[in-house]
Amino acid sequence: MLPTSSNPNIRILSVLTLALGSITGIVRSETVEYDLTIAGETVNITGKDRPAITINGGIPGPVLEFTEGDHAVMRVHNKLDVPTSIHWHGLLVPPSMDGVPFVSFPPIEPHSTFVYRFPIRHSGTYWYHSHSGLQEQKGVYGQIVIHPKNQRSDIGRIDHDVPVLLSDWSDESTHEIMKTLRRGSEYYAIQKGSAISLSGAIRHGMLKDYFQRELVRMPEMDIADVYYDRFLANGRSEIFVPANPGDVVRLRLVDGSATSFFYGEFARGPMTIIEADGQPVVPVKHDRLLIGTAETYDVLVTVPRGGGAWEFRATAHDSSGHASIWIGDPHGERHAAPTVPVPNLYYSMGKPTLDKIFAFTPAGTMGMPDRKVEIGMFDTPGMTMNMEGMNGMGGMKMKNTMNTGLAGQPPHEEKPRVGMGMSLPQETGSSGGMPAMNHSGMKMEDSTASANGDGMDHSAHSAMGHGNSASGGSHGGMEMAMGPMMGGPIKRTLFDRNGREMVVDGMNPKRPLPPYPKLRALHSTAPDPGRPVREIRLTLDGDMDRYVWYLNNKALHEDDQIQIKEGEVVRFIMINRTMMYHPMHLHGHFFRLINGQGDRSPLKHTATVMPMATTVFEFEANEVGDWFFHCHLLYHMKAGMARVVEYENFTPDPDTEAVRDELFDVDLYSYGMADIMSHMTEGFYEIAGIRYSGLVNWTVGWGNIDGEDYEIDATFNYHHNRFLTLFAGAQFSNEGDYPGARGIFGYRYPLPFLISTYGWVDTEGEFRFGAAKSYPITDRLHVFGEVEYDTQLQYEWAAGLEYIIGKNISAVGSFHSEFGVGGGLSVRF
């Protein structure tokens, strides 16, 4: 193997060895063997000892190096008491070697060994990780570097070749994280400082945006689900790369996190992107690089002549922390990279309309109902809706000036967006971005300076003529990164309560979108024009409150297969109807990301679909097998956002086929809450799967009455979508004309302004209707109220305040129309 640095933080590949191999033309095909031992360990990353899972005793695992044409033999030894696996992310391998339990092979059983064998078919930067449970989050990941047979001649010299694996770490157990997400806790947002509140909306002058969002029943925007204690580069918060002034350093960046995107930026100006997802692209300069979970980018940076150590900073997308790679003299002065502003999560995505306000489905409130999806209204890559919210842009017409390069379609074909009053291009060049447009001097946001603020000309040389604005677009001297989060322009600088600048993703170069418009393959990637084309339309849906995620409104266990046929071109049209970013990964293939580069569309294995936006990719179906396709946010995948892409007439081996049904097992999570106050107690306990749950609610009161009144409702619930829940069960009560037990049948449904309503009829012919609402006054202080009408008990109402003390405890006080005033604690479990 190639030599490594003595510095334990970093591994620097031998550039000299690679160069000599290229010069002499030596091409060797070797069998390269590794032993990887997966075992439970105790680690200390934050100052506290915590259980983890390591590979060969470390987090991350070792860097695996190969040369294109080698044959890999990987012996994976499972020392755990549970099954495990390793998936070779981005590598083209036989389906039985892909490492996805129940899809590719049976999992590696406890205290056993599995041997992976496969040819190394291509070069590039990749990674490997567990595909079992949530093991990836606890440390089962590592990097892969595959050297090409022949070195590129278009990127000049490289003095240091440095693998960098970015990841996130939480001291919490993965089960506790998932339970917290399923319970709908706001505490992670509080920890990150990203919780939305009325006082925050007032402070930022965005109260209108706040209520517009609630009016159309859209969930709060979020950038990341989980609060992390540390963000890591090669397992540490900071690492050092010794280098001399003038040296060119290649950083092989891998986002191997469980759920985090990263902004990468060098302290001394732009980097040069030379590869994306292991595949070469035309070198292009970029200032602030948004790397999606599971993506890889190879970039070049040059150490400045001024001396010292220069930071390449990887900032978490939600700006809650970062990892640092210091390049240069480890003992010299440190030069920090710029700080990334925090996201503005108050911004409204367009104006409410009557059809959104009174829509019956979550997709309808976003202007993207199924009926419009089915007729192809949102098939165009880029922004999908809310164009009416672009104040000052009325009458604007956008025309397609790009060669899409879609198989089976001529270049410059326009596909109009129905109902938007304008013609949109066939391709925008970004999953969520907009194409180059002439806006006659329109300005979206005041800040248009280069993100690195050095005043230098960092113009890129893309075949589309894109400049180096954050979106990669050139707009006649006006830089504008227009993403899916679009409403009226923000004309003043906003700051959060900690003094950090707040900007909207994609509308300010300080928080750019992915660099997809700039990525251009070195050679044509166009498929054979004679091949048949199969279009597969997939909506990305979810319920943030219950934390379940769908494709086409169904979880993996409800609709597991996507059928394709060998020899055809398969086009995935992914329409994001959620407020989250989704990095979608297809196993076993490289696909062409449709980004405006025509026949030179870049090849990738993972592509981010922006909130309320469409991403399109296509691939040649020439890797026969069963392949996993999923969102690479670990907890989204675990909560249902996945499918199996199956080739017709392919049959997995008998051992895999025998365990396939285990892929569709649904994990159950249990959680609850109890308010224990001086005048009453109430709470709930729920056991939840994906579509169904069992729920027990109770209220027991003793204030202002003789004795105690109690009511216990036990129901089985069917969650049709984020809005509608139907339930049936039993009520046990000592109140009213019919004490004892009775059956109940009812619904829950939100009204505009996210007012929760419910109703039921019981087996005695009595009815009940109720409505409830909670408002966050601050991130920790909430006010709530509820009113109820029962044909037996007539009207009943309550109101109160809750102050969130910690993740599992709050102080609470309330007035109840029957039980009076009291206070106490609310405990979550």
- 192, pLDDT greater than 50: yes
- 317, pLDDT greater than 90: yes
DSSP labels, 710-752: EEEEEEEEEE-SSS-EEEEEEEEES-SSS-EEEEEEEEEEEEG
Which candidate, 266, 257, 273, places its Cα nearest to that of 320?
257
Least confident range of 1-15, 574-588, 621-635? 1-15
* Tokens 């097992």 -> residue: 665
With beta carbons less than 8 A apart as the criterion, state whether 726 and 747 touch: yes
Alpha-carbon distances, residue 657 vs 82, 96, 641, 661 (angstroms): 21, 11, 22, 8
- 439, pLDDT greater than 70: no
- 451, pLDDT greater than 90: no
Please indicate, yes or no, if residue 364 is contained in any of the structural domains.
Answer: no
Please indicate, yes or no, if residue 679 is contained in any of the structural domains.
Answer: yes
Half-sphere exposure of 333 (CA within 13 A, CB side): 6
Question: How confident is residue 809, by pLDDT bands cut at 50, 70 and 90?
Answer: very high
User: Residue 101: helix, strand or coil by DSSP?
Assistant: strand
DSSP labels, 259-313: S--EEEEETTS-EEEEEETTEEEEEEEESSEEE-TT-EEEEEEE--TT-SEEEEE
Kindly calculate the radius of gyration of the chain based on its CA atoms and give it in whole angstroms. Answer: 27
Could you give the CA distance from residue 615 to residue 383 in angstroms, rounded to a whole number?
9
- 261, pLDDT greater than 80: yes
pLDDT tens digits, one per residue of 764-777: 999 999 999 999 99
Residue 773: what pLDDT?
Answer: 97
Beta strands in 567-724 (DSSP E): 569-576, 582-586, 591-593, 603-604, 606-609, 613-620, 626-631, 642-647, 669-677, 680-688, 692-701, 709-719
Count of all residues that appear for the chain in the document? 829
Q: Which residues contact 608 (CB under 8 A, 6 or more apart)?
A: 261, 292, 295, 431, 432, 514, 581, 582, 583, 584, 615
Least confident range of 11-25, 195-209, 569-583? 11-25
Least confident range of 282-286, 442-446, 564-568, 613-617? 442-446
Higher pLDDT, 568 or 24: 568
pLDDT tens digits, one per residue of 681-738: 999 999 999 999 999 999 999 998 888 899 999 999 999 999 999 999 999 999 877 7
Strand partners, 250: 161, 300
Q: Which residues contact 20 (CB under 8 A, 6 or more apart)?
A: none
Least confident range of 296-305, 428-437, 582-591, 753-762? 428-437
* Tokens 């503005």 -> residue: 344
Find the mean pLDDT for residues 124-152: 97
Phi-psi region of 36 (alpha: psi -120 to 50; beta: other; left: phi over 0): beta
pTM to 2 decimal places: 0.87
Alpha-carbon distances, residue 440 vs 183, 429, 444 (angstroms): 48, 21, 12
Could you give the CA distance from residue 294 to residue 259 in angstroms, rounded to a whole number?
9
Question: How confident is residue 489, by pLDDT bands cut at 50, 70 and 90?
Answer: low
Dihedral (CA of 666, 668, 669, 674) sign: positive
Residue 254: what pLDDT?
Answer: 98
Residue 493: what pLDDT?
Answer: 85
Could you give the CA distance from residue 641 to residue 751 in angstroms, rounded to a whole number?
27
Q: What are the tokens at 663?
A: 């892929």
Please indicate, yes or no, if residue 710 is contained in any of the structural domains.
Answer: yes
Could you give the CA distance from residue 597 to residue 516 in angstroms, rounded to a whole number?
10
Q: What are the tokens at 382?
A: 């880029």
Strand partners, 688: 669, 693
Alpha-carbon distances, residue 748 vs 449, 731, 755 (angstroms): 48, 16, 11
With beta carbons less than 8 A apart as the criterion, state whether 797 and 788 touch: yes
Residue 520: what pLDDT?
Answer: 98
Write the DSSP symbol of residue 58: B
* Tokens 């770490």 -> residue: 169
Which one-letter amino acid corresponds to residue 55? I
Could you give the CA distance from residue 692 to residue 725 in angstroms, rounded to a whole number?
9
Convert 770-820 into a string of H (helix), E (strand) and C (coil).
EEEEEEECCCCEEEEEEEEEECCCEEEEEEEEEEEEECCEEEEEEEECCCE
What percentage of residues in the chain have a pLDDT greater than 70?
A: 83
Q: What are the tokens at 114?
A: 């599995």
Could you give the CA distance from residue 782 to residue 775 in angstroms, rounded to a whole number?
6
State the pairing for strand pair 248-255/296-302: antiparallel
Query: How many CB atoms sit inside 10 A of residue 457's CB?
Result: 9
Please indicate, yes or no, if residue 709 is contained in any of the structural domains.
Answer: yes
Torsions phi, psi for 407 (to 5 deg): -60, 135
CATH of the domain at 706: 2.40.160
Please indicate, yes or no, if residue 794 is contained in any of the structural domains.
Answer: yes
Alpha-carbon distances, residue 257 vs 41, 135, 260 (angstroms): 19, 12, 6
With beta carbons less than 8 A apart as the criterion, state whether 206 and 346 touch: yes
Q: Which residues contact 778 (CB under 8 A, 6 or more apart)?
A: 197, 199, 200
Please indicate, yes or no, if residue 712 is contained in any of the structural domains.
Answer: yes
Could you give the CA distance from residue 292 to residue 337 in angstroms, rounded to a whole number?
20
**Burial of 305 from C-beta contacts in 10 A (0-12 / 13-18 / 19+):** exposed
Top mean pLDDT of 436-440, 454-458, 522-526 is at: 522-526
Residue 623: what pLDDT?
Answer: 98
Bond before 60 cis per omega within 30 degrees:
yes
Range of the domain at 819: 669-828
Question: How confident is residue 314, by pLDDT bands cut at 50, 70 and 90?
Answer: very high
pLDDT tens digits, one per residue of 399-436: 333 455 666 554 333 332 222 222 223 333 333 333 33
Which candidate, 320, 318, 312, places its Cα nearest to that of 336?
312
With beta carbons less than 8 A apart as the criterion, state whether 472 and 480 touch: no
Residue 397: what pLDDT?
Answer: 32
Residue 793: what pLDDT?
Answer: 80
Alpha-carbon distances, residue 615 vs 381, 431, 432, 582, 705 (angstroms): 5, 5, 7, 10, 60
With beta carbons less than 8 A apart as the criterion, state whether 515 and 354 touch: no
Could you give the CA distance from residue 384 to residue 774 in angstroms, rounded to a whole number?
31
DSSP labels, 649-665: T----HHHHHHGGGGG-
pLDDT tens digits, one per residue of 500-518: 999 999 888 999 999 999 9
| Domain total of the chain | 1
Could you give the CA distance from residue 424 to residue 596 in angstroms, rounded to a whole number?
13
Please indicate, yes or no, if residue 132 is contained in any of the structural domains.
Answer: no
Please indicate, yes or no, if residue 787 is contained in any of the structural domains.
Answer: yes
With beta carbons less than 8 A apart as the criterion, state whether 326 and 308 touch: no
Could you give the CA distance from residue 399 to residue 402 in angstroms, rounded to a whole number?
9
Strand partners, 503: 343
pLDDT tens digits, one per residue of 582-593: 999 999 999 999
With beta carbons less than 8 A apart as the criterion, state whether 432 and 389 touch: no
Sheet holding 71-78, edge to edge: 49-55, 31-44, 71-78, 112-119
Which one-letter amino acid corresponds to residue 423? S
Residue 409: what pLDDT?
Answer: 56
Beta strands in 103-198 (DSSP E): 112-119, 124-129, 141-147, 160-169
- 675, pLDDT greater than 90: yes
Query: What is the overall mean pLDDT for the chain?
Result: 86
Phi-psi region of 243 (alpha: psi -120 to 50; beta: other; left: phi over 0): beta
Half-sphere exposure of 750 (CA within 13 A, CB side): 22
Cα–Cα–Cα angle for 655, 659, 664, nearest 5°?
150
Q: Which residues contact 26 (CB under 8 A, 6 or more apart)?
A: none
Q: How far is CA 705 from the centre of its chain?
A: 51
With beta carbons less than 8 A apart as the criterion, state whether 723 and 553 touch: no
User: Residue 176: helix, strand or coil by DSSP?
Assistant: helix
DSSP labels, 377-431: TT-SSEE-S-GGG-TT-TT------SB---TTS-TT---PPTTSSSPPPS--SSS
pLDDT tens digits, one per residue of 342-390: 999 998 766 789 999 999 999 998 889 999 999 999 999 976 444 333 3
- 475, pLDDT greater than 80: no
